[in-house]
Amino acid sequence: MLFTCPMKIKSIIKTSFLRLFWFQYPARYIMHSSSVNHYYNAMKVKVLPALSDNYMYLLIDQKTNEAAVVDPVDPATVIQTAYEENVFITTILTTHHHWDHAGGNVELVAKMKGKNLVVVGGDERVQGVSKIVKDGEELKIGSLSVKCLHTPCHTTGHICYFVTSQTSNCPIVFTGDTLFIAGCGRFFEGTAEMMNNSLNEKLARLPDETKVFCGHEYTNTNLKFAQMIEPNNIDVINKLQIVANLRQNNEPTVPSTIGEEKKINPFMRVNVKTVMDYAKVNDVIQVMAYIRKKKDSFKL
Ligand SMILES: [Zn+2]
């Protein structure tokens, strides 16, 4: 086991370190990014940085002041923010069971005792889960509609949450560790075929204008990797400049859009000639497997 899963061991060591570090230095004092708001008419998304590079999100229906929180690994910050925003949280939307996403669920439920928080997730490994959802299942957060998209590969139970509002023609999607800006999650529990289905069959079919809010601030490294694969991709070059400016000011690089990802994300461009040429194969699944393997050992 020790010799067959080096990435898992690395992940456990990182998780243990973060847990120790987090308790010694609460995340709100060592933010990797600033907290920002995005407004889509009645829908508001508050970006809440956590740990060393995670994002939690408060999804607010401004019509009713009902809110959901995505991957609340730092419950104290979530509770404080909900209080400041004057909203009531009814639902935890968990993208997957890894500690840096689901690790705050039980504590948040305990701290909000009596509020009957529903803990949504894709499998029973999600801490505190009270509602296991299936692909296509719909939920309501006030007047907002949330569609659960099963996107297995990083974990077998991974769920993305696609949110629409009657007052806005700008949908959003929370993609956890399936789709990052210009990248994707490691294939811990799945295959290249599964990731291809999740990214290029399911998420790619969302409207191009859909805003993408992902689970980690990995954008700069991902773009450098994308540039190695497609050195002449002008959209990657332009995005690198935008991201450099944002990071200089400690601002989050989320959101991107599905349409933008199709231009800059090599994992959503496995059928594009330049990416196929880089991998020296013309089967999209083989391209996906090849570039993920390259990314696993890529360092800046
Ligand atoms: Zn993960």
Instruction: Provide the whole-model pTM.
Output: 0.91
Compute, in angstroms, the gap from residue 99 CA to the centroid of ligand 1.
8
pLDDT of residue 300: 84
Domains of the chain: 20-296 (3.60.15.10)
Compute, in angstroms, the gap from residue 166 CA to the centroid of ligand 1.
31
Compute, in angstroms, the gap from residue 98 CA to the centroid of ligand 1.
5
For 277-283, the CB contacts below 8 A with 24+ separation are 278/229, 278/230
| pLDDT band, residue 3 (cuts 50/70/90) | very low
Active site residues: 96, 98, 100-101, 154, 177, 216
Compute, in angstroms, the gap from residue 160 CA to the centroid of ligand 1.
12
Compute, in angstroms, the gap from residue 154 CA to the centroid of ligand 1.
7
256: which strand partners?
Answer: 212
| pLDDT band, residue 30 (cuts 50/70/90) | low
pLDDT digits (tens, 9 = 90+) for 156-179: 999 999 999 988 889 999 999 999
> What distance in Å separates the CA atoms of residue 256 and residue 262, rounded to the nearest whole number?
11
For 94, counting Cβ atoms within 10 Å of its Cβ (0-12 exposed, 13-18 middle, 19+ buried), the class is: buried
In percent, the amount of the chain with pLDDT more than 90 equals 86
| pLDDT band, residue 268 (cuts 50/70/90) | very high
